[in-house]
Structure 1
Amino acid sequence: MKNIPLQYESLKAVLLYMDPNVRFIIAHRAPTIRSTERTVPLRVRYLELDEYSTAVNNTLYGVGVYRDYDADEKIPSEVEMYNKYGVQYDFDRHGFPVASGFSVLKPGDILIGNLDRHDFEYDTVHVERAFRRALKRYEKSLYLLSNPSASEASDDEEEEEEEEYNDSTDMSKEELEDLIDSTRDALLPFECRRFNLKPPYTCYIQLTIESGEKRQIQRFPYKMKVYEAMKRLNNFLFGGRRSAIQVGELYIHDRSFILRLPIGFQVRTKQLRYLSNLDNRNDSIVSMLDSSYFPLDVVSIYVNHQFQIPIVTSAKKLIIHNLGIVYDVSLSPLIRKCSNPHVVLADTFLFITAEGLFEAVQLWIDGSQSIETSVSLGIEKEETVKELFKLIKARVENTKRTKRCFSMRTQDNSRLEVFYVPIKSNKEQIMYGYDSKWILKIRAVQF
């Protein structure tokens, strides 16, 4: 049968509804249609941007530096582990790690950290001495483990050093051997610099593409820095597009400092999730979002950061994370900062008490909290809510009670409902925390 190629308009229609990762493959393998692919709006269900990786739907693209050791060299198990994806830093000619992209900002890049951050200096005499002391400890611990009858050193100097060995005496032989290999590998750059030698490995830029259990690896000559490789990757995925990328959920990783993006990169989304330091990132984040999609449906932030930012305060649903980690958070002041229609206190609130919950409920009763705002949070023990209900009954007049719900009037004559329901879905479990068994909800309803 004779194959008939797709006409231009038909090709555009097919590309529009094609999985974006398939489109990337086609554009890579068929350069002749690459320009057409760039003209068709890109629709992505889930987009995650990190400093050295990008996830599109269920496919992760990551770059790193892979070290290919010479055939007669033993590869430390730690290096084998890191070689799976490659490390996210560069190496100088002696093999010292170098974070070369810390202070480099190219056109299109989004700065969400600080350019004045400093990399740890690995090539100092103090670092070398620390590694040699560690190697001595590990080798002695391995010797004593392999020779139980060996006598302990008795001279004063050995007795003074004995405390240094305690951190490795409980390790197994395999653990000690791995530490010895890793420490010797860390000392290699010092030897190479001292004798002007080449490291016993060849570096490559590695591109890793993962989708489910399927994993593809491509390696390229080490002729660019790892941050430049990330820039090139995102340029291929998103560069040169004539319209903003349509994204269902945008996730910007909280460990990122610089996102290596193409010039003109813009996203249309209604859901922005999992941000920390949002107060510092606000201008950078907003600059790549299509403002015609504001206000956003969902914004996620961390509890220990600023709330009074337009992109946060205008969101229809605000999800606040880290409640199970930050110990000194008071519930009432936290809720008072929120004016969003729906606020979700995500993760497990480990230290919340019935008294703390009642103080939060009181915000609606006395009119301090807008009736437009509802709050939900995870509860580990049902007894906590039952104790809350006892406090409501004792301190609030004209209440109505059912099995899992209290309702009462507020000062503005709306009806406040405080009720709880069991967690039923896996999605809810992830949202409210794995220790949570119930969802407590506080909401006001107009009569």
Structure 2
Amino acid sequence: MDLNGLSYDSLKTVLKHMEANRRFDMARRLPSIRVAEKAAPLHIRRLEFDTDSINVNGMIYRATLFETFPSGARREIEESIDEHGFKVDPNSVVFPGDVRMMDWNEPGAMQQRKMKDVRNLRLQLYVYNSPPWIYDVPFTTKKFEVIKRLSDMFFGNRKAEWKVTTLCPPSGIMRWPLKGMKPKVHQISIHSEFLMDALPLIVDPSSFPMNIVRFSCGALAEDLNHPTVTNAKELRFGHVISRELLLQLRHPKVSVMGEVPAADLNACVNQWMRERRSIGVHYSIRYDEEPKELLEMISSRPEVLKKSERCVELAMGSTAILKISYLEVKVHLSVWFLDMRVCRRQ
């Protein structure tokens, strides 16, 4: 695509409707459009950070370090190693703009021994595409420094609004630009231990209250009580959750993507009935098989007002009912969602 003949405003319009990775690649190859690229609104569907990679809409930019053997064979080295061959802890190095996403205690002095002969090491940036793009990087640069430079190049000095539908921060240090607008984030997806207080340092204030907070691993009690979580419009759990966690939840809207056993579901119903949860509370639980037996179990309760093949209504005092139902959703395979909802009694 020839962009050189476009006016500044026309160029920004074209870039606004271009997929993010395509924009980044064109700005890398065409210095003349870089100012317009930073000034054009940007939308990223999914942005995921790891210690040595950035994932933008499914395209992975990964810094890799290889050791080459005399036979010509090579293997990847997981550790970060400096130009002298010493191991470096990525979480011990924070650049301006970076944000620490978890509690971290300063370790003792690392053993100063050479890990590798640097003459046999090669640092490359892999861009996982079809076919993959491979860029050689000077070995004076460490893997996490490559990620920092990419983050600055992609996201730094943005002058226009940019949005991220789903942001997945790393478990350690988030390599983040020092200057430029922060993104408006629709959903935060948490994969490991995470400092909730760090979130305002990387997202635009208008992102709060967050639309969705998603936990892909077990949530801690302090996480559930953090304002970012309690004020979110919806909580999602992308795994099986324990009975203890299920009974701790006080959020009005929760989705659980892992099956809840019958005993745990019954304990949850007992708690809701006992505590008289507020009208509007709504939990949705995913099952791989039709939860018919679960509904039959609930149908045997003395509080039943009405029941049908896929729905049971329980009296919750004189003003509310607990409505439990399920439906089938067909995508590639059928899955089932069991809904628990507190409604006003008619």
TM-score, normalised relative to structure 2? 0.86
Indicate the residue corresponding to 2:149 in structure 1. Answer: 232
Which protein has the bigger helix share? 1
The aligned amino acid for 2:305 is: T
Q: Secondary structure at the match of 2:267?
A: helix
- What's 1:434 paired with? none
Equivalences for residues 318-329 of structure 1 within 5 A: 318-323=235-240, 329=242
1:358 aligns with 2:271: no
Alignment root-mean-square deviation, CA: 3.0
- DSSP-derived class of the 1:223 partner: coil
Mapped contact 2:65–2:124 kept (Cα < 8 A): yes
Paired residue total: 340
The answer as to whether partners of 2:237 and 2:255 remain within 8 angstroms in 1 is yes
For residue 140 of structure 2, what is the aligned residue in structure 1? 223
Supply the distance in 2 between the matched residues of 1:119 and 1:225 (Cα, whole angstroms). 21
Distance in 1 separating the partners of 2:118 and 2:172? 32
Closer, same or farther in 2 for the Cα pair 1:356/1:260, shift >3 Å?
closer
2:167 matched residue in structure 1: 250
Distance 1:221 1:398 in 2: 70
Q: For residue 286 of structure 1, what is the aligned residue in structure 2?
A: 200
Give yes or no for contact 1:99–1:119 (8 Å, CA) kept in 2: no
Aligned 8 A contact 1:102 1:117 in 2: no
- Per the alignment, residue 315 of structure 1 pairs with 232
Structure showing greater Rg:
1
Deviation of 1:109 (Å): 0.2
Q: Which moved more, 1:58-67 or 1:10-19?
A: 58-67
Question: Which residue of the partner structure matches residue 66 of structure 2?
Answer: 66
Higher relative contact order by CA 8 Å / sep ≥ 6: 1 or 2? 1
Is the CA contact 1:358–1:388 (under 8 Å) kept in the aligned structure 2?
Answer: no
- 1:119–1:52 CA distance, 2 compared to 1 (3 A): farther
Residue 218 (structure 2) aligned to one of 290, 294, 303: 303
- The amino acid across from 1:90 in the alignment is I
* Structure 2 Cα separation of the partners of residues 104 and 291 of structure 1: 27
2:124 alignment counterpart: 206
Instruction: Kindly indicate whether the alpha-carbon contact (under 8 Å) linking 2:21 and 2:59 is maintained by their aligned counterparts in 1.
Output: yes
Query: Is 1:389 the counterpart of 2:299 in the alignment?
Result: no
1:6 deviates by 0.7
1:330 counterpart residue number: 243
Give the superposition deviation at 1:414.
1.9
Pairwise CA distance, 1:21 = 1.3
Alpha-carbon spacing, 1:218–1:101, altered in 2? closer, same or farther (3 Å): same
By how many angstroms is 1:356 displaced?
2.6
User: Is the Cα contact below 8 Å between 2:3 and 2:11 reproduced in 1?
Assistant: no
Shift of 1:29: 1.2
Report the alpha carbon displacement of residue 423 of structure 1 after superposing the two structures with TM.
4.4
Change in Cα spacing, 1:304 to 1:294, as seen in structure 2 (3 Å) is: closer
Q: CA deviation at 1:295?
A: 1.7
In 2, Cα distance between equivalents of 1:277 and 1:34: 36
Native 8 Å contact 2:83 2:118 kept in 1: no
**Residues of 1 paired with 2:132 and 2:293: CA distance?**
50
Structure 1 counterpart of 2:96, one-letter code: P
**1:103 Cα deviation after fit:** 1.4
Q: Which string of whole-angstrom CA distances, capped at 9 and with x for unpartnered residues, describes residues 198-228 of structure 1? A: x3843333111113x3311000221122222
User: Per the alignment, in what secondary structure is the counterpart of residue 90 of structure 2?
Assistant: coil
The answer as to whether partners of 2:236 and 2:255 remain within 8 angstroms in 1 is yes
Name the structure 2 match of 1:143.
Answer: none
1:108 to 1:444, Cα distance in 2 relative to 1, 3 A: same
Q: Report deviation, 1:314.
A: 1.4
Runs of 4+ aligned residues of structure 1 deviating over 6 Å after TM superposition are 119-124
Query: Aligned equivalents of 1:257 and 1:439: distance in 2?
Result: 34
Q: What's the CA shift for 1:411? A: 1.6
The change in CA–CA distance for 1:372 and 1:110 in structure 2 (over 3 A counts) is: same
Alignment CA distance shift 1:45-1:393 (3 Å)? closer
Name structure 2 gaps, 5 residues minimum: none
Give 1 or 2: higher strand fraction: 2
Superposed CA deviations along residues 42-62 of structure 1, whole A, max 9, x for unmatched, are: 221221122221111131111
Q: Deviations over 1:228-262 (max 9, x none)?
A: 22211111111111134311221224xx3001111
Quick one: structure 1 residues 17 and 232, their matched pair in 2 at CA, closer, same or farther if it must change by over 3 Å?
A: same
Q: 2:178 is matched with which residue: 263, 269, 272?
A: 263
Write the deviation string for residues 139-177 of structure 1: whole angstroms up to 9, x where unpaired.
xxxxxxxxxxxxxxxxxxxxxxxxxxxxxxxxxxxxxxx
Query: In the alignment, what sits opposite 2:306?
Result: 400
Aligned residue type for 1:420: Y
Deviation at 1:387, TM superposition (A): 5.0
Residue in 1 that maps onto 2:12: 12
Q: 1:233, 1:397 → 2: CA distance?
A: 59
Q: Distance in 2 between matches of 1:41 and 1:425?
A: 33
Residues 124-139 of structure 1: pairs in structure 2 closer than 5 A: none
SS at match of 2:62: strand
Q: Which sections of structure 1, spanning at least 5 residues, go unmatched?
A: 125-188, 193-198, 430-436
CA displacement, residues 113-160 of structure 1 (integer Å, 9 cap, x when unaligned): 244354996877xxxxxxxxxxxxxxxxxxxxxxxxxxxxxxxxxxxx
